[in-house]
Amino acid sequence: MLKPPEHQVAGHQARDGRLGPLVDGSGLFYKPLQSDDRGANELNFYTSFSSEPRIATRIRSFFPGFHGTQLLSASDGSGLHPHLVLDDLFAGLRLPSVIDLKIGSRTWFPSAPEDYFRKCLAKDRKSTSALLGFRISGLQVNDEDCRWRPSHDEVRRFNAKDVCRILRRFVSSDPASDREPNCAFASAVYGGAEGVLAQLLELKAWFEEQTLFHFYSASVLVAYDKDGSEDGRCPNRARVRLVDFAHVLDGNGVIDHNFLGGLCSLIKFISNILNDPTLSLI
């Protein structure tokens, strides 16, 4: 019954005998707990977030629903392994275009051990994180008859100009083409009262206030479905979700200025596209 998710664009993947997440095809996503601190941290986050009374329902809907943990046969054949049981964020989407945006100009946290700090810092400087306040961790863009899904190596080499272009290509038809992105779905996906921009602005308002959690190395995941789309219209509201909480820290009364800054930068990119879909600003 369980199988690797078809639309996962970043993170460890349950293919070729490795440990990775599984889906049951009826709405649940099973993420193996990482065996080091990261697994414990992520479980700890989901547990305290679930029981935190100060989170509004609207904000809660940006996070995957959490349904405890479950021992399952690991995808790498290593036997029983504890998994987080989460909502499958792509349930109900037939032809999802997905982008994973790791938010924050730095992915290391102040108390990080030296070797982890150095690894993160090097990646932040090499990728667009330091420059743009976020980086793309993975994506796929689907259209009726084609899919564009850059390899992990391609994604790692994206520079600021690439990111700018990809955020337009993400909402274009004919995504596999190298032509100038047409942004045919920009207003349907990014715009409108329920579009990506509106959802990101809601998140931003929360991050301006909330001092409960600091989200290091977490991602904003955007997904929308072109299934049944016509004339640049999409049948369903685009989904904006926060994912990857292995490095969430207690906010200790301080806002998450690192996440907030990166989120504002992403918001500016998206509004630029809505203001002028043909314009490449950087």
Segment 55-94, which members bind a copy of itself (CB under 8 A)? none
Segment 119-138, which members bind a copy of itself (CB under 8 A)? 121, 125, 130-133
> Which of 26, 57, 151, 252 is the binder for a copy of itself (CB under 8 A)?
252
Phi/psi-derived region of residue 199, left when phi > 0, alpha when psi is between -120 and 50, beta in every other case: alpha
Phi/psi-derived region of residue 3, left when phi > 0, alpha when psi is between -120 and 50, beta in every other case: beta
Of 263, 132, 249, the residue nearest 206 (C-alpha): 263
Of the pair 72, 264, the CB lying nearest a copy of itself is at 264
Of the pair 43, 266, the CB lying nearest a copy of itself is at 266
> Which of 80, 160, 176, 205 is the binder for a copy of itself (CB under 8 A)?
160
Q: Could you tell me if 12 and 20 are in contact, meaning their C-beta atoms sit under 8 angstroms apart? A: yes
Segment 194-233, which members bind a copy of itself (CB under 8 A)? 208-209, 211
User: What is the crossing angle of helices 196-209 and 257-275, to 10°?
Assistant: 160
Q: By CB under 8 A, tell whether 192 contacts a copy of itself.
A: no
Of the pair 128, 229, the CB lying nearest a copy of itself is at 128
How far apart (Å, rounded) are the C-alpha atoms in residues 142 and 129?
Answer: 26
User: What is the crossing angle of helices 257-275 and 160-169, to 10°?
Assistant: 60
**Binding span for a copy of itself by CB under 8 A among 40-48, 179-187, 192-200, 246-254:** 246-254
**# of chain residues touching a copy of itself (CB under 8 A):** 30
Cβ neighbourhood burial of 41 (10 Å; 0-12, 13-18, 19+) = middle
Of the pair 204, 241, the CB lying nearest a copy of itself is at 204
- Stretch (H or E) spanning 166: helix 160-169
Q: Would you state the structure tokens that stand for residue 228, as one six-digit string?
A: 């049944």
Task: State phi, psi for 209 to the nearest 5 degrees.
Answer: -110, -40
**Binding span for a copy of itself by CB under 8 A among 27-35, 49-57, 68-76, 256-264:** 256-264
We find the least distance from the C-beta atom of residue 117 to a copy of itself, in angstroms, to be 9
**Binding span for a copy of itself by CB under 8 A among 135-143, 148-156, 173-181, 253-261:** 253-261
Segment 32-61, which members bind a copy of itself (CB under 8 A)? none
| Beta bridge partner(s), residue 138 | 100
Q: Which residues bind a copy of itself (CB under 8 A)?
A: 105-106, 110, 121, 125, 130-133, 160, 164, 208-209, 211, 252-255, 257-258, 260-262, 264-265, 267-268, 272, 281-282
